[in-house]
Amino acid sequence: MRIGIVTFPGSNCDHDVYHVVKHTCGAEARYVWHKDRLPAGMDAVVLPGGFSYGDYLRCGALARFSPVMEDVVAFAKSGGPVLGICNGFQILCESGLLPGVLMRNSSLKFLCQDVLIEVQGKETPVTRSLSGERLRMPVAHAEGNYFADGGTLDRLEGEGLVVFRYVGGAPNGSSRDIAGIAGGPRRNVVGLMPHPERASEVVLGCQDGRRLFESLLG
């Protein structure tokens, strides 16, 4: 498995994802600079967390115009697995690959804490055999308050596309406690606010996040 990890100006979790994919899980990882094209032969793409373009205008709004995103969109539309974490989730929403938007947390505070999320909905490349599991990992965001109109939320729920939900209530005000959703032609596009790459090793106190990467890597 070869995983492409996109680095935008302002990405700051790209190295963490690279480390988990390569050193913790033993798969092939490759950085892809946002101005370059997506190299051929990638099995999956990760849009990592951070503050792409300094969160100017709106989180993720400018990153979608990076040259690499044209290829990421085509890759996603052809069924290629794409995982967006935190700012990566925001970019997926702004680029139209996933519906809705991540708004400012209802508390107006930057949240940096562990959360418990439950894997729900239909299976995706990162949630194979994980349905019903409760996983602990940290969130670190100021804009993680998922919002979509009622019709869109109903459709997401009805089609089993709400794949991660906060247990015990969303800390950020997210509609229906949504922590992550899936989309794309084969539920191959997944975005979530919590950081699985920060909970993938014993030394970090929790390995729950690693299970998403192991699912992705098959």
Partner 1 sequence: MAKMAKVFVTLKRGVLDPQGSAVARSLRSLGYEEVADVRLGKYIEVSLRDGASNEDERKRIDEMCKRLLANTVIEDYRIEL
From the list 13, 59, 86, 93, the catalytic residue is 86
**What does the alpha-carbon distance between residue 163 and residue 132 come to, in Å, rounded to a whole number?**
10
Contacts 24+ apart (CB under 8 A), 127-134: 127/163, 127/164, 127/190, 127/212, 127/215, 128/215, 128/218, 129/215, 130/211, 130/212, 130/215, 133/211, 134/167
Respond yes or no: is residue 86 known to be catalytic: yes
Which of residues 35, 39, 78, 106 is near partner 1 by CB under 8 A?
106
Return phi, psi of residue 151, to 5°: -65, -40
**What does the alpha-carbon distance between residue 85 and residue 50 come to, in Å, rounded to a whole number?**
9
Candidates 21-29, 93-101, 136-144, 155-163 — which segment interacts with partner 1 by CB under 8 A? Answer: 93-101
Candidates 2-10, 96-104, 117-125, 158-166 — which segment interacts with partner 1 by CB under 8 A? Answer: 96-104
Which of residues 50, 80, 88, 100 is near partner 1 by CB under 8 A?
100
> If binding means CB under 8 A, how many residues of this protein chain bind partner 1?
18
Provide the 10 A C-beta neighbour count for residue 54: 11
Instruction: Provide the minimum distance between the beta carbon of 165 and partner 1 in the complex, in angstroms, as a whole number.
Output: 20
Q: H or E segment at 172?
A: none
Provide the 10 A C-beta neighbour count for residue 208: 19
Is residue 173 within the footprint of partner 1 (CB under 8 A)? yes
Is residue 107 within the footprint of partner 1 (CB under 8 A)? yes
Query: Which CB, 166 or 213, lies closer to partner 1?
Result: 166
Candidates 14-22, 106-114, 191-199, 208-216 — which segment interacts with partner 1 by CB under 8 A? Answer: 106-114
124 within 8 A of 163, measured Cβ to Cβ: yes
User: Residue 132: is it exposed, middle or buried by C-beta count within 10 angstroms (0-12/13-18/19+)?
Assistant: exposed
User: Residue 128: is it exposed, middle or buried by C-beta count within 10 angstroms (0-12/13-18/19+)?
Assistant: middle
- Interaction pattern, residues 47-66, with partner 1; x per rule: CB under 8 A: ----------xx--x---x-
Is residue 104 within the footprint of partner 1 (CB under 8 A)? yes
194 within 8 A of 115, measured Cβ to Cβ: yes
Instruction: Provide the minimum distance between the beta carbon of 146 and partner 1 in the complex, in angstroms, as a whole number.
Output: 11
Respond yes or no: is residue 23 known to be catalytic: no
Which of residues 39, 129, 149, 169 is near partner 1 by CB under 8 A?
149
Catalytic positions? 86, 195
Residues that bind partner 1 (CB under 8 A): 57-58, 61, 65, 94, 99-101, 103-108, 147-149, 173
